[in-house]
């Protein structure tokens, strides 16, 4: 007997304790999968049912639970993360190798697919679930006329969650189409990972305008040389700002194939001369919450594409 899903049966970023079916008994999601999308969660509540028995379903994928070692971050790893943040290193040691992905109990900040040769470019996708050691579940978030995922193409995947960046190769499984416009990708055989400090700074080279706020002084053209979630480094031909001054920075950020103009108030934290240009270290002081999210998304996307 099938029972309609009730509020509280499912939680984002937590393994499902039971298989989920639609009204006619067709398997939608298997036990052990992880739902990371709010849209998919609401669809499951609207259409999903549960029962006490499970089966492998049409995709032939049997649920496998993450081991206790995967579910708990070791004390040594936690200490390593804390040390990385405190030290201010940009990126810890080079990508290390492992055979498993994290159990994704933390929010997935970024998931991106690319190809080596630039051909068969995949559409933007969202990681919505994982069957440990067997498959990844993704959902296309592009427009209807966007390119689709193709069988036989090897994709490079980059995943950012917690304080780590993961890189691996994947491809569509033979029976790849799933419910709600989802696709099943092969679980990677090898995974490279690197620890990234909390406030990662990415190198940039785009233009912007910096206003000192002084009466009758025009905005100065600057080159934004690096950006983090908390500040930016810029250079200008003019020496017009002192340490401690508050200024206003205007830039255009390219995020998810769109250009977004943002304005943020900054405080000058340091200043130095480099040849004929003057370099300023700026700390973000005041900005709308939407702007803060845009900057964070830009940094994470830049990290994943490096």
CATH 2.30.110.10 in the chain: give the residue spans: 1-197
180 or 252, which is more confident? Answer: 252
Q: What average pLDDT is seen over the chain?
A: 76
**Residue 145, Cβ neighbours under 10 Å: how many?**
5
Mean pLDDT of 224-251: 91
Lowest-pLDDT choice from 29-33, 242-246, 301-305:
301-305
82 or 220, which is more confident? Answer: 220
Lowest-pLDDT choice from 47-61, 99-113, 179-193, 210-224:
47-61
pLDDT-derived band at 197, boundaries 50, 70, 90: low
Distance CA 239, CA 205 (A): 20
pLDDT-derived band at 233, boundaries 50, 70, 90: very high
Superfamily of domain 1-197: Electron Transport, Fmn-binding Protein; Chain A (2.30.110.10)
Question: Where are the extended beta strands (E) located within 132-201?
Answer: 135-140, 155-161, 164-170, 172-177, 182-186, 191-195
* CB contact at 8 A, 178 and 184: yes
Task: Select from 2.40.50.100, 2.40.10.220, 3.40.50.300, 3.40.50.970 the CATH code of 202-305.
Answer: 2.40.10.220
pLDDT-derived band at 59, boundaries 50, 70, 90: very low
Distance CA 197, CA 91 (A): 6
Would you say residue 263 has pLDDT above 80?
yes
Percent of the chain with pLDDT over 90: 19
Q: What are phi and psi of 250, to 5 degrees?
A: -120, 130
Q: What pLDDT does residue 61 have?
A: 43
Q: What pLDDT does residue 306 have?
A: 60
Residue 283 zone, left/alpha/beta (φ > 0; ψ -120 to 50; rest): beta
* All residues at 6 or more sequence positions from 26 whose CB lies less than 8 Å from its CB, including other chains: 58
pTM: 0.45
pLDDT-derived band at 100, boundaries 50, 70, 90: confident
* Segment 129-159, tens digit of pLDDT: 888 888 888 888 766 655 678 888 888 888 8
Q: What pLDDT does residue 249 have?
A: 95
CATH 2.40.10.220 in the chain: give the residue spans: 202-305
Would you say residue 119 has pLDDT above 70?
no
* Segment 70-90, tens digit of pLDDT: 333 333 333 333 333 333 333
* Segment 173-188, tens digit of pLDDT: 887 777 777 889 999 9
**Residue 25, Cβ neighbours under 10 Å: how many?**
9
* Segment 5-28, tens digit of pLDDT: 877 788 877 778 888 888 777 777
Mean pLDDT of 280-301: 86
Distance CA 43, CA 303 (A): 31
Residue 180 zone, left/alpha/beta (φ > 0; ψ -120 to 50; rest): left
């Amino acid at each position: 007997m099938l029972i309609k899903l009730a509020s509280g049966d499912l939680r984002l970023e937590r393994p499902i304790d039971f298989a989920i079916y639609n009204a006619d008994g067709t398997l939608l999601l298997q036990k052990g999968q992880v739902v990371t999308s709010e849209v998919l969660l609401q669809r499951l509540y609207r259409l999903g049912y549960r029962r006490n028995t499970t089966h492998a379903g049409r995709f032939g994928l049997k649920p496998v639970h993450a081991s206790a070692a995967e579910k708990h971050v070791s004390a040594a790893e936690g200490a390593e993360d804390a040390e990385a943040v405190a030290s201010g290193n940009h990126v810890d040691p080079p990508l290390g190798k492992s055979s498993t992905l994290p159990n994704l109990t933390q929010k997935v900040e970024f998931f991106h697919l690319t190809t080596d040769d630039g051909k068969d470019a995949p559409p933007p996708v969202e990681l919505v679930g994982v069957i440990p050691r067997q498959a990844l579940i993704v959902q296309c978030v592009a427009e209807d006329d966007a390119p689709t995922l193709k069988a036989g193409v090897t994709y490079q995947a980059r995943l950012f969650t917690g304080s780590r960046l993961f890189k691996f190769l994947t491809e569509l499984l033979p029976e790849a189409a799933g419910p709600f416009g989802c696709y099943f990708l092969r679980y990677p055989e090898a995974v490279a990972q690197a620890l990234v400090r909390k406030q990662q700074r990415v190198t940039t080279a785009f233009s912007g305008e910096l206003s000192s706020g002084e009466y009758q002084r025009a905005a100065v053209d600057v080159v934004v040389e690096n950006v983090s979630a908390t500040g930016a480094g810029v250079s200008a031909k003019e020496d017009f700002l002192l340490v401690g001054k508050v200024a206003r920075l205007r830039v255009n950020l390219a995020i998810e194939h769109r250009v977004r103009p943002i304005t943020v108030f900054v405080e000058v934290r340091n200043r130095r001369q480099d040849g004929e240009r003057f370099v300023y270290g700026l700390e973000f002081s005041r900005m709308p919450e939407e702007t803060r999210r845009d900057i964070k998304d830009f940094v994470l996307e830049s990290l994943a594409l490096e």
